[in-house]
Amino acid sequence: MNVFEHTVSYRTLPNWVEFGKQETAVNVATNSQPYGQKPHFDPLHPLKEWLDNTAIKSQKLARLLCKFIPSQCPFEREVKMGDRTLLSIPPLCKLNPLYEQVVGLRFRALCYLADECGEDVTPYC
């Protein structure tokens, strides 16, 4: 029995609180956690949803997105002095919580330019 399910109505929770799978007899028997998963708090969920559902309908907007969203991580650097590498900074883009959504938005913009507008997208790559 899930106590949380019987004490708080689902309608009162904000949409950035997500729940795991619903418990069934099969899930309870095969699940490593006997009482299901705890709620996952994600305050960026509405922004992620908005970025994922944004449709590209303008050629001007698509070009702007392709110019401003880089195709590679701009933070990866190697600090050198002469021949020796003093410091190597790894790509930090994956630490961004919106990384997947922004990359997806850029990809949709590139696809719009290539498929709908028939434009050559090699300058943006």
Task: List pLDDT tens digits, range 69-105.
Answer: 988 888 788 888 888 988 888 888 888 888 999 999 9
Tracing tokens 């434009």 back to the chain, one arrives at 119
**pTM, entire model:** 0.62
Q: Could you tell me if 36 and 23 are in contact, meaning their C-beta atoms sit under 8 angstroms apart?
A: yes
- Residue 64 confidence class, pLDDT cut points 50, 70, 90: very high
DSSP element (H, E) containing 6: helix 3-7
pLDDT tens, position by position, 108-124: 999 999 998 898 888 88
Write the pLDDT tens digit of every residue in 3-52: 445 554 544 445 555 555 555 555 545 555 556 666 678 888 999 999 99
Displacement of CA 75 from its chain's centroid (Å): 18
Q: What's the Cα-to-Cα distance from 73 to each of 54, 62, 93, 122, rounded to whole Å?
A: 23, 20, 6, 18
Alpha helix ranges (H) inside 8-78 = 25-30, 45-53, 59-68
Alpha helix ranges (H) inside 69-98: none
Please measure the distance between the N-terminal and C-terminal CA atoms of the chain and give it in whole angstroms.
Answer: 53
Q: How many whole angstroms separate alpha carbon 51 and alpha carbon 9?
A: 28
